[in-house]
Amino acid sequence: MDIMYRSTRSTQTRVTASRAILNGLADDGGLYVPEQIPALDIPLSKLADMTYQETALAVMRKFLTDYTEEELSYCISRAYDSKFDTEEIAPLTEADNACYLELFHGPTIAFKDMALSILPYLMTTAAAKNQEKHEIVILTATSGDTGKAALAGFADVPGTKIIVFYPKDGVSPVQERQMVTQKGANTCVIGIRGNFDDAQTGVKKLFSDRELKKELEQKGFCFSSANSINIGRLVPQIVYYVHAYGRLLSMGKISAGEKINVVVPTGNFGNILAAFYAKNMGLPIAKLICASNENKVLFDFFESGVYNRNREFHLTSSPSMDILISSNLERLIYRVAGEDAKKNSSFMESLAKTGSYEITAEMRQALSDFIGGYATEEQTSEEIRQLYEKEHYVIDTHTAVASHVYRSYRLETGDDTAAVVVSTASPYKFARSVMQSIDSSCKDLGDFELIDRLCAASGTPVPAAIEEIRTAPVLHDQVIRADEMEAAVKRFLFA
Ligand SMILES: *Cc1c(COP(=O)(O)O)cnc(C)c1O
């Protein structure tokens, strides 16, 4: 069965998977969604014996139906190789009654690597399949981790250029250093005076600017996106939920068919949406627990049915979740609106105009598998300390948000269904916040001293991604206002 992709905002659009990946965003500003969610066609019990790469093929071939099996196998084998520091790719670690799905063993030590190590292969394969003559320009807004993972994936990939915008004061020192030291003549990294939403809104504007599109085409370029709005990001993320289920089986934690809960630290809603798609493929998932930091717009949404971004923006210790407009929620809204593009568009229009919208009671009913929770800064820090003292397991701030939300959920409900807490970043990426939580004497230490302390405390080796930036020279130092983004793009491309 061929799966075609439609836009969440109009009924006319209908494209193949490879075309959707090339385009990134639909012309009408909507997000591409599969016409139907295919069923997982392997027996659950078999998952226990499958490698990550085999699971990836089993999942991705169901969604990306215009890629041949050979093409997908090629993309998968290139993506999930020794760039990851463990053969398991996504290991599951048990600690304090939960299983932490560690998605940070890739080249940039954040979960974005799970999708961004394969996206460049999916995209260049798509370009060849569609006889795309233009050079692909990846435009990306980042809250910190996407930027580096996308840069690492696309650096020096022939036929592509990549431009990354990040909020100058909204990322961790390690995140910023990772990006501004990026090598590769086709890369460009720019700081924005503003927050992530300003950067993301700016990028969306560039995407929907028809004049700009024409001008670029004349000069031989076309835009695409490496953000989680690209369906080529989302599909590879479904894989690790299926993989985690297999690991739980092989660890003897569950039997085939038994349901699990998943707990996901959430920002742009891509990761948890992939879990929702996995559930709709037939993976036995009971609750999808959506964990937010103090920017708890999603918690309030699941509580009240009202999405309202008109509120104070908090800079937290989990910057990759400091987001008030969760782009991928649109895909869920579209689905619970009965795949009604008109209805979805009216909500999104309201969001753009007034900053809020309210869904119907019927739609809320369809969201009953989702549970929202949030952690304050203090609770996040306390969670890191507690888990370290109890189990000597060190988690990063984002994972700690999820871990706290899960702990409270379990206390409140007594639900002891086997649970996967998604661990989205290495603690090394957020060493300052992590070390301040477990050792109050670290206050005045420098970033790399903290990293050495963390190494001693956790007993885990310092990842190569961190060692690299100790001495790497800064190669990108542009900082601009959000309204200067278009000019900056032209400067880089037309130089
Ligand atoms: C991106 C990111 C998140 C949020 O993921 P979404 O898919 O945007 O919800 C959480 N934690 C870390 C470390 C991230 O990099």
Q: Say how far apart CA 92 and CA 5 lie, in whole Å.
A: 32
Residue 204, pLDDT score: 86
Quick check: is 359 in a domain?
Answer: yes
271 in ligand 1 pocket by Cβ < 6 Å? yes
Residue 95, pLDDT score: 97
List the residue whose alpha carbon is closest to atom 14 of ligand 1.
320
Residue whose pair of structure tokens reads 């000069």 in the numeric block: 219
327 in ligand 1 pocket by Cβ < 6 Å? no
Residue 27, CA atoms < 13 Å, CB-side half-sphere: 11
Quick check: is 441 in a domain?
Answer: yes
393 in ligand 1 pocket by Cβ < 6 Å? no
Residue 197, pLDDT score: 87
Quick check: is 326 in a domain?
Answer: yes
Distance 130 CA to ligand 1 centre (A): 31
181 in ligand 1 pocket by Cβ < 6 Å? no
Measured on CA atoms in the order 161, 180, 205, 120, is the torsion positive or negative?
positive
178 in ligand 1 pocket by Cβ < 6 Å? no
Distance 267 CA to ligand 1 centre (A): 5
Quick check: is 146 in a domain?
Answer: no
Residue 91 near residue 250 (C-beta atoms within 8 A): no
Quick check: is 494 in a domain?
Answer: no
pLDDT digits (tens, 9 = 90+) for 1-43: 899 999 999 999 999 999 999 999 898 889 999 999 999 999 9
Token pair belonging to 390: 């109890």
* Distance set, CA 335 to CA 34, 187, 265, 388 (Å): 10, 36, 22, 40
Distance 265 CA to ligand 1 centre (A): 7
Q: Say how far apart CA 317 and CA 401 lie, in whole Å.
A: 10
Quick check: is 133 in a domain?
Answer: no
433 in ligand 1 pocket by Cβ < 6 Å? no
Quick check: is 254 in a domain?
Answer: yes
pLDDT digits (tens, 9 = 90+) for 350-364: 999 999 999 999 999
What atom of ligand 1 comes closest to residue 323's alpha carbon?
8
Q: Which of 377, 292, 319 lies closest to 168, judged by CA? A: 319
Token pair belonging to 452: 């050495």
321 in ligand 1 pocket by Cβ < 6 Å? yes
Residue 283, pLDDT score: 98
Distance 272 CA to ligand 1 centre (A): 9
Which residue numbers in the chain have pLDDT < 50?
A: none
Residue whose pair of structure tokens reads 């499958």 in the numeric block: 50
Just list the catalytic residues: 112
Q: Which of 32, 90, 89, 88 lies closest to 63, judged by CA? A: 32
CATH number for the domain harbouring residue 460:
3.40.50.1100
Structural domain that includes position 305 = 92-110+232-464
Residue 173, pLDDT score: 86
Say how many domains are in the chain: 1
Token pair belonging to 192: 């924005």
Residue 272, pLDDT score: 98
Could you tell me the pTM of the whole model? 0.95
The preferred substitution site among 111, 240, 426 for testing ligand 1, maximizing ligand atoms within 8 Å of CB, is: 111
* Distance set, CA 305 to CA 289, 350, 397 (Å): 16, 14, 28
Quick check: is 344 in a domain?
Answer: yes
What atom of ligand 1 comes closest to residue 424's alpha carbon?
13
Quote the strand ranges of 226-377, DSSP E: 260-265, 285-292, 306-308, 356-358, 370-374
